Structure 1
Amino acid sequence: MPQISMGARLRALIQSSAPVIAPGCYDGITARFVEQAGFSAAYMSGLCVAAARGLPDVGVLGIDVMVDHARVIARSIDIPLIVDADSGYGGAYNVYEAVREFERSGAAALHLEDQPFPKRCAAMSGKKLIGTDEMIARIRVALDARTDPEFMIIARTDAFAVEGLDAAIARASAYEKAGADATIIMSVAAEADMKRITAALEKPTIVMMVEGLRPLVPAARLRDIGYPLVVYPVSLLQAQVHAQKTMLQALSEEGTTQASLGKTATLDQIAEYLDLPKSTRIDDQFARYQAEAAERQEH
């Protein structure tokens, strides 16, 4: 039987009646945490990857860095991965190559946004938008680039914070008519606005929940409103930053990490999370193969 692609698996999840949550991850171990916690999809945030490189989310990272991170994450898990492709990293050919490379990395989908290059994080002020026609052309180039028709091209708009809800809905509607498989309207917070969005759009639309930025709505409620998939893009980064800063502050003040011992994972637990037993099983199997070969030679 032919293997079902990750894009097809993601589409099936979106079409199911159950709410789907995709937590954000940014390296192999955070990706494994997402899968081991039982989530059926994962998300790679550009902000988180930039932070892992010690940089702000202002579009400074290029295709190669982002694709490398996507490849590491995709090979670490067996659930669909959605990746943040910013505004496509440049001109039309950059968009084309980004789609090709992210598809090869093992991702199930990417989203492109209607900001110029370089972009700004959705949480920042001073965002600018490209014209709707230019974004439609960007989407069409992305659709032409994919080799697996199930690989999802998601169109994201930042128009809500710049031009208002009506303009954001109009843009998202135009993007889905241009062929985008799904849309994201950023910065939406009020349930009344969410209901207007899901009622106005024909294709799946995705919502992002960010702690400390806007009210958090449970996934089941969001599914009732009409969102089949909810992304928590930066939750793990926020948790990591808080925990590590807290530990380092205590170490600086007390000269020991004793106070953190009950709040950290052991090395044995980390080895288990990274599936060290699998490497041990392979080593054991290799030893058996060697022993069998030596026995055959003796006879």
Structure 2
Amino acid sequence: MLNHEINRAFRARVEAGGALLLPGAANALAARVIEDQGFEAVYLSGAGLTNTYLGMPDLGFVGLSEIAMHTAAIRDATELPIVVDADNGFGNALNVRHAIRTLERAGASAIQLEDQKSPKRCGHFSGKEVVPLDEARMRIRAAVDARQDANTLIVARTDARGTHGYCEALDRAQAFIEEGADITFVEAPETAEELRGIPQRLAGTPQLVNLVVGGKTPILGLDVLDEMGFSLVLYANLTLQSALHGMQTALGQLRSEGRMDEGGPVASFAERQRMVRKDLFDGFEKRYSF
């Protein structure tokens, strides 16, 4: 399927309403697993990419080129819509414009921008700072102007809840809607009451909520968040945290027992080949052989 067709279908799905679970992937293999499990879209997590690609915390260490490279790899591996975390746009409004065009070409269906200063931090870390509202608005205006496909969604995130308070975060989200944002994302609300107030205050624009396992936002069920009015329910790094746990479990057993076979806590060799579509490439090889 062509990317503009994926984007059109994704916009229609978001606008149709009903909460959509959005798991995060840090690489193409995780995206393949997400698609295989029947999810409707995938999120390329900047935090997950930093953790897995560099082995470093989410403190602004990855740039546009790395995010674009991994976006393209995921687009080649799956036909799911990709929501791409573009951090704070990597500079001023002109940098945001370049980032949007680059990520669209790489295969993004939606691009998320936040209002943090550089270097940015994970939304559930302390010590974040946000830029002035006027600067944040210009980032979103530049993003909306830069997209080539009208169905590419612009997701505007504010981290002001942790710096200026809940009401300021809502005011910023409303300002981003005025600049043309398609979806808004108030990061790290801390109570169920705060969660409920976000779609109420910002009614008419789809809302994303980020549920971080171990983070600041209370974990509520999909049905509850749907009833509240959220459109996208993001688990940005669930795959990463589960993979980390799985690696620790398997490697701990290997170290203690000195051996590991398919009876251990690992996927089978056959399952591994299925997930990377080896049969597809076997078919290509046969087709293109003399």
Q: 1:226 is matched with which residue?
A: 229
Q: 2:178 is matched with which residue?
A: 177
Aligned match for 2:264, one of 253, 262, 270 = 262
Q: 1:209 is matched with which residue?
A: 211
Q: 1:94 is matched with which residue?
A: 95
Summarize deviations over 1:148-204 as a string: whole Å, max 9, x none: 111111110011111111111111001111111110001124222122110111311
- Where 1:230 maps in the other structure, the secondary structure is strand
- Where 2:208 maps in the other structure, the secondary structure is strand
Q: 1:42 is matched with which residue?
A: 42
Give the alignment of 1:3-152 within 5 angstroms: 4-52=4-52, 53-152=54-153
Summarize deviations over 1:216-264 as a string: whole Å, max 9, x none: 2121221110001111100000011111122222333332335x83321
Tell me if the contact between 1:5 and 1:150 (Cα under 8 Å) persists in the aligned partners.
Answer: no
Tell me if the contact between 2:137 and 2:175 (Cα under 8 Å) persists in the aligned partners.
Answer: yes
Whether 1:284 and 2:275 are equivalent positions in the alignment is no
In 2, Cα distance between the equivalents of 1:167 and 1:286?
A: 59
Partner amino acid, structure 1, of 2:100: V
Summarize deviations over 1:71-102 as a string: whole Å, max 9, x none: 11111111100010000112222211110111
Q: 1:250 is matched with which residue?
A: 253
Give the alignment of 1:161-172 within 5 angstroms: 161-172=162-173
Partner amino acid, structure 2, of 1:140: R
Summarize deviations over 1:129-156 as a string: whole Å, max 9, x none: 1111110011111112111111111110
TM-score normalised according to structure 1 size: 0.91
RMSD: 1.8
Summarize deviations over 1:260-299 as a string: whole Å, max 9, x none: 8332111111111111111122233335xx5xxxxxxxxx
Tell me if the contact between 2:160 and 2:166 (Cα under 8 Å) persists in the aligned partners.
Answer: yes
Tell me if the contact between 2:19 and 2:229 (Cα under 8 Å) persists in the aligned partners.
Answer: no
Tell me if the contact between 1:89 and 1:118 (Cα under 8 Å) persists in the aligned partners.
Answer: no
Tell me if the contact between 1:85 and 1:110 (Cα under 8 Å) persists in the aligned partners.
Answer: yes
Q: How many residues align?
A: 287
In 2, Cα distance between the equivalents of 1:173 and 1:115?
A: 17
Consecutive unaligned residues of structure 2, counting only runs of 5 or more, are: none
- Where 2:264 maps in the other structure, the secondary structure is helix
Tell me if the contact between 2:3 and 2:109 (Cα under 8 Å) persists in the aligned partners.
Answer: no
Give the alignment of 1:180-199 within 5 angstroms: 180-199=181-200
| Shift in Å, 1:32 | 0.4
In 2, Cα distance between the equivalents of 1:93 and 1:35?
A: 34
Larger Rg: 1
In 1, Cα distance between the equivalents of 2:102 and 2:3?
A: 20
In 2, Cα distance between the equivalents of 1:139 and 1:194?
A: 23
